[in-house]
Structure 1
Amino acid sequence: MSSTSSLIRMEIPPVPYFIAVGMTAFGPGGQHPNRRNLGIFDLIWMVKGVLYIAEEDRQWELSEGQTLLLLPDRFHYATKPCDAETVFYWIHFDFTGDWSVTEESAAPVPPIGQPWANRYTIQIPQYTAQPSSAMAQHQLQRFMDLSSENRSNAFWNQQQLFMDLLRKLEEGGRKGSASPAMKLAEKTEAYIKQHYQADLTNETLAEALHFHPNYIVRCMKEAYHCTPMDYLHEYRLEQAKLMLIKTEWPVAQIAETVGFRHTPYFSSCFKKYAGISPLRFRKQYSS
């Protein structure tokens, strides 16, 4: 049994893409086939019995309610035959973006990035136990039922169900592995996004979140490798980028709206951050 657990991190866009779903049943003596470099992700969701399976040098004994995500570029093989009747769903999906494997203790560092890109990093535990197994099985059976419907109807419904399952996997993994520092960093991030137009300081964050300002700074550095004020500064500038593209507001109005008191200081910060002035940034997207 593997003693370590990993997170599969997928940077989106693009998003994972559902391909196919099925159910497999093995009697005593049956076993998972050996596969190498399948080229797609294979998510196993156990229903009954025990499946003995390995990926490279890691081994698992999967039982009811447990999931395992097999990676597209690895060697998968059975470590021993099943002892009794064993049933599991499998979901094949593809992902053409950047993905990596990291330990659960590794803190995610979501880039602030361009706001119109809507970037995010999905973090799915490679191996986990699902608390809502019955609900998941209902969704998986719905997956199976959709396979017999017409393609245009099945496509959208299956993609939606698939994304919902990934969300459940990610949420389940985060509840089990998120440290107090990570939880506070995420609360700080959310508060900054909601109040970035206000006059925020480390002290006002501390008052709002009920933690010492030094502890909030330390948690943000640990989780996101930046201070709250660094995050606030970049988030304001990214919102300014969006406003320069989506509105015809003067630069002074945009500067004030995103939380800068003085327009020249805003313009200086923007040029240092984006490499060009606010007006030149707007012009490159104008007809």
Structure 2
Amino acid sequence: MRLVQPSQRSKNTSLIRGAGIMRTNNLQVAKSVFEDLHLKLVLAGFGQVSQGWGRTEFVPTYNRLYYVVEGKCSIKAAGREFVASGGHLVVIPAGFPLSYRSIRGEKLVKFWCHFSAKIGHMQMFQMLEFPPYIEVLESEGNDLRDLFDRLLSAKQEAEDITALLKIHNCLSDLIIYLIERARPVRLNPVVTAAQRYRIHSYIEEHLAGPLSLEQLAAAFHYSPNYFIRYFKSIFHVSPHRYITQMRLEKGQWLLENSKWSVGKIADIIGMKPIPFAKMFKQATALTPTDYRRLHAGAQAERTDTMALRDTPAANRWQGAPCEHTQPSG
């Protein structure tokens, strides 16, 4: 089965099940939400991680999926701590504290991808609540491995004009699989797009300044204490965390799409160069300079998954050794 073919999705029942994301009374809300879904792949790979793999208490600016093929690892994400093992598809949302580590004596082989998923200007995983992982059914394993393989192959095709479409198709199929298998339990229709947009736009227009909580609350005629609660009810994170995430995301975009220096970019997003570089590396595992180099052109795109080239696609998921390039997922 080739999930990338839209015409086949309604005919297949192995990965695309049709369980439905929402109950009937929320169907129209769900449709309107997903019409505005935007996906972007940041990094992807496959391999066996080294002993000592791990990071502690950082806030990623992009979402992560880990499909564990073999072994175990310990993960704490969005306040939930668990052990992921073979056959688990782990869902790690952006914008929440994350810690992960290998387990002594345990081999860990996994597919992984980092990506953004936004509905308008909102993170999809702030609007939908997923379980920390999905237990992939044995009958679905080969199809899911094939889907990740095709994502990695498309990622290598930097000079192919269809590569971006292939990547988008693969990411879309992964999101479909997540939704139909996990049945996310919350869709927040109460807060209107206009309410979110006003606050988001104000922050965006004032990113270059200090943008204190008091200033933000006053702009919308609330006391600071009430505004924090109101803000969390809309965005599901604190104002400080949301502003920091917006600054880092804009910094990422400027690193990819401008030739300005890191210092100039830091100034544009309202940060000092050293704190910006430190927080950027905490969030992405790359320095701003390394991130720019990675996304500079076709050669850098091919380098992203260079370690995969020595292992035939048909054998990658069968446990063949393949060390991660940095960052290691």
> TM-score range, shorter-chain basis?
0.3 to 0.5
Q: Report which structure shows greater RCO (CA 8 Å, sep ≥6).
A: 2
Quick check: which one's strand share is greater?
1
Larger radius of gyration: 1
